[in-house]
Amino acid sequence: IHRNVEYKKLEKMGEGTYRTVFKAENRETHEMVALKWMRLDDNDEGVCRVPPSRRPQDLKKYFDSCNGDLDPEIVKSFLFQLVKGLGFCHSRNVLHRDLKPQNLLINRNGELKLADFAGVVTLSNRPPDVLFGAKLYSTSIDMWSAGCIFAELVNAGQPLCPGNDVDDQLKRILWLLGAPTEEQWPSMTKLPDYKPYPMYPATTFLVYVVPKLNATGKDLLQNLLKCNPVQCISAEEALQHPYFSDFCLP
């Protein structure tokens, strides 16, 4: 935590119910940072500093600045850093729970930082078990969201399943991945908000919506996006996937 006097606020980057993010400059080093003001209660406010980055921007703005055209190696680099960050958090029993491009900060060196740890997953990146009302969940909630972001990276910033509401979101997911049977996901029908959905064919359409992705990338994506959370690949396993076999983080 740093005193506000050490930084000169330049512009507002974003605002939510409990926090406001400013672009700021360190008065001594002239380093560009993101400052987050967080409301703790009705009387107190705190300031939280995102790790140093020059000209910080979120991944959504990065998409816009690149006109949605990302080099495959940049996609791989961002995903690797995202999964590595999740692995660090998960090994310490910390879940993010609201992964989306707006919560991933990118600096001019291509470094990716996780931000805005929250309590509710954005609808378009919400896994099926949470959409079915699950109250208890594990690291799979973040890995599913990482899969959605992976597809968005590949598809020039286009969300994988932009549903209008919970029902629409579930239908889009089940059409994309195929509706799981009770044998494939035994606890599905016991979830609080479960209701029967059309039995979309088991043949997945997922591989067809990411045409730019190579075969190993499609395999990793399919392992990230599993309706049954028990079957979802972990961060540690994802880092060992062949998709990253020829990748070295600069």
Strands, E assignment, 152-197: none
Residue 93 gets which letter from DSSP? T
Candidate list 58, 98, 116, 142, residue with the active-site label: 98
143 class by beta-carbon count within 10 Å (0-12 exposed, 13-18 middle, 19+ buried): buried
User: Letter for the amino acid at 184?
Assistant: Q
Q: Which of 103, 153, 99 is nearest to 126 (CA)?
A: 99
**Catalytic site includes residue 98:** yes
Tally Cβ neighbours within 10 Å of residue 65.
9
CA distance 142 to 137: 10
Q: Which of 144, 150, 158 is nearest to 76 (CA)?
A: 150
Q: Beta 104-106 vs 112-114: how paired, if at all?
A: antiparallel
Give the angle 127-141-37 at the CA atoms, nearest 5°. 110
Catalytic sites, residue numbers: 98
